[in-house]
Amino acid sequence: MRLSHVISALEELYPPAWAESWDAVGLVCGDPGQDVGRVLFAVDPVAAVVDEALEWEADLVVTHHPLLLRGVHSVAATTPKGRLVHRMITNGIALHTAHTNADRAVPGVSDALARAVGLTGGLRPMVPADDDPRRGLGRIGELDEPVALREFTRRAAAGLPSTAWGVRAAGDPDRPVRTVAVCGGAGDSLLGTAQAAGVDVYLTADLRHHPASEFAEQGGPALVDAAHWATEWPWLADAERRLAGSSPEAGKLETRVSTLVTDAWTLHDEGAQ
């Protein structure tokens, strides 16, 4: 399958126009005319993922996070990102990114996160898109039955890939939880949205001390904070399935979801007990 056709299929699923204005999505490197037989899906475009792509002989790597989010004046191999670009081009590996356009899609990153932590039934965006209220940022849904916050936190940890960061919660451990808001990746900008929605708990990543502490003092939803990478990783399998189902030709591609843990945090020590 030509790379240009694979990219067209991905952009049909995750249109670049849905991305935030500051974002950098789409084809990063690769010849649109090259043939693609193997596609590797990963969260981060980092050296370990490129190593995996080389070992597996992938022709295309699809990542959630951009490699070149901010403008650059050089991709010389004297920098880590420059070296990645050189390695991929030298070995004929293309790189495509679907970031905030995948966050806003339906199903998108937060749909996969919601299912991973146990939400069932219908989901609705926390922040609906102006042109289509079915899609947008974050998701709100319900558990089959209420559980205590401590149990929901345990289930979330079991449903997400394990990381050194782990899963932590803020709130009464015995608080009943049924209605849940989730946002894959850094979601502290939606704290007020979660409170206004009247949910029992809000699960996201990268929550900072002061916003979380102030939020808890307001008596709103409980908070569950997971590793950034872990909250976005469930989307990879969904993107893989959707690409395979986009056409008979795409269904013949060999695809693989990377299980490498590329979260930035690699060690957790609870200290003296």
Residues annotated in a binding site for a divalent metal cation: 64-65, 103, 228, 232
Integer-rounded Cα Rg, in Å, for the chain is 19
Whether the Cβ atoms of residue 146 and residue 177 lie closer than 8 Å to each other:
yes
- Which among 230, 117, 232, 113 is positioned nearest to 166, based on CA atoms? 230
Of the candidates 162, 181, 176, the residue with the CA atom closest to the CA atom of residue 111: 181
Cα distances (Å, whole numbers) of residue 169 to 57, 106, 148, 151, 216: 41, 27, 12, 11, 11
Annotated binding site: 64-65, 103, 228, 232
**Phi, psi of 144, deg, nearest 5:** -60, -35
* Tokens found for residue 188: 């502290």
Which residues are 181's β-sheet partners? Answer: 140, 202
Q: H-type helices in the chain, by residue range?
A: 3-13, 47-56, 80-90, 100-104, 109-116, 149-159, 191-197, 209-217, 228-232, 234-244
Mark residue 53 as left, alpha or beta (left: phi above 0; alpha: psi -120 to 50; beta: remaining): alpha
CA neighbor of 119 nearest in space, from 205, 171, 184: 184
Backbone phi and psi for residue 124, each to the nearest 5 degrees, phi listed first: -135, 150
Amino acid letter, 224? V
